[in-house]
């Protein structure tokens, strides 16, 4: 397989995907809307690689080599020759569909088009293209350089060949894959964490338990590495709220409707680690 990947979106997820692909020897095109966004993405990758080098996980030479394989750009047309394209833009259907309409026009016919969505049905994203068989969900986890899981999601018309190429790519860059055979909203992992987070927030909101004690219960009682509220702060309170809303809209199941506390936190800008305050405070 040729080793050329275009990552669309240089935010936390896109830059993480670009980093692990570059570390695995892939030539990476990292695209965002403006030079400031791509510069932030590359700077984040540089800092991450430097941390790995400082810990002795990789050599300084390997870190520099990985960085040299990443080409930042603001031109979507730079994805034209990529064998694999991973979209990692804002988690909203209309935004993703806009990107995929353009990718359908730009990318070569045999390119695999992956979407790093955590909750939006792949079929809805693929429907705006003339090649839905080439579109697949490639749901990576944050922080991408540390988290080993990649959730591969079939759309209604995703081909076996597309799924096989996506799996080969994900495994080559160090991920372990699970396959979701039907693209229900939320897939497997987001559906599970959303149900847990909604119930956790309700328990805190009603004064039953503190955030600290709820997370401690999940860590010590269930063996979770992080409690659901700490996980929400890490992922982004707004991201989790949008995910639960997407699942609720698709299913009508009230257990996924975001609680008032979650909505108020987003309105107040209490988005978790990235804003300095969520269910916990961060300095």
Confidence (pLDDT) at 250? 87
> In which order are the strands placed within the sheet that holds 4-8?
70-73, 27-31, 4-8, 84-87, 112-115, 135-140, 149-154, 176-180
Q: Would you put residue 98 in left (φ > 0), alpha (ψ -120 to 50) or beta?
A: alpha
Sole residue written with tokens 């993405």 = 41
Residue among 199, 185, 171, 189 nearest 235 (CA): 189
What span, in angstroms and rounded, lies between the C-alpha atoms of 5 and 24? 12
Confidence (pLDDT) at 218? 98
Residue among 282, 262, 280 nearest 210 (CA): 280
Confidence (pLDDT) at 1? 46
Q: Which domains does the chain have, with CATH numbers?
A: 4-180 (3.40.50.720), 190-274 (1.10.1040.10)
Confidence (pLDDT) at 75? 98
Q: Phi and psi of 190, rounded to 5°? A: -70, -35
What span, in angstroms and rounded, lies between the C-alpha atoms of 143 and 238? 17
pTM of structure:
0.90
pLDDT average per 10 residues of sequence, the chain (283 residues): 87 97 98 98 98 96 97 98 97 95 98 94 97 98 94 98 98 98 93 96 98 98 96 93 90 95 98 97 93
Give the list of residues 6+ apart from residue 232 with CB closer than 8 angstroms, or none: 197, 240, 272, 278, 279
């Amino acid at each position: 397989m040729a080793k050329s990947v275009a990552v669309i979106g240089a935010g936390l997820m896109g830059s993480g995907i670009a980093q692990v692909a570059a570390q695995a020897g892939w030539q990476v095109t990292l695209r965002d809307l403006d030079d400031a966004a791509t510069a932030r993405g590359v700077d984040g990758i540089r800092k991450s690689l430097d941390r790995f080098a400082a810990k002795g996980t990789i050599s300084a030479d390997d870190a520099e080599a990985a960085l040299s394989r990443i080409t930042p750009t603001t031109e979507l047309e730079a994805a034209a020759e990529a064998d694999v394209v991973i979209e990692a833009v804002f988690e909203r259907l209309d935004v993703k569909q806009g990107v995929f309409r353009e990718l359908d026009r730009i990318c070569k016919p045999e390119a695999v088009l992956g979407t790093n969505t955590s909750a939006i049905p792949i079929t809805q994203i693929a429907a705006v293209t003339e090649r839905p068989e080439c579109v697949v969900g490639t749901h990576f986890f944050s922080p991408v350089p540390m988290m080993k899981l990649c959730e591969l999601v079939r759309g209604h018309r995703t081909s076996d060949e597309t799924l096989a190429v996506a799996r080969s790519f994900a495994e080559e860059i160090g991920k372990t894959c699970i396959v979701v055979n039907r693209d229900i909203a939320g897939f497997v992992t987001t559906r599970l964490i959303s149900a847990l987070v909604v119930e956790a927030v309700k328990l805190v909101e009603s004064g039953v338990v503190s955030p600290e004690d709820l997370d401690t219960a999940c860590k010590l009682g269930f063996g979770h590495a992080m409690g659901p509220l700490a996980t929400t702060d890490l992922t982004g309170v707004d991201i989790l709220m949008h995910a639960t809303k997407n699942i609720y809209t698709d299913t009508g199941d009230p257990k996924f409707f975001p609680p008032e506390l979650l909505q108020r936190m987003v309105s107040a800008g209490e988005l978790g680690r990235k804003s300095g305050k969520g269910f916990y405070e961060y300095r």
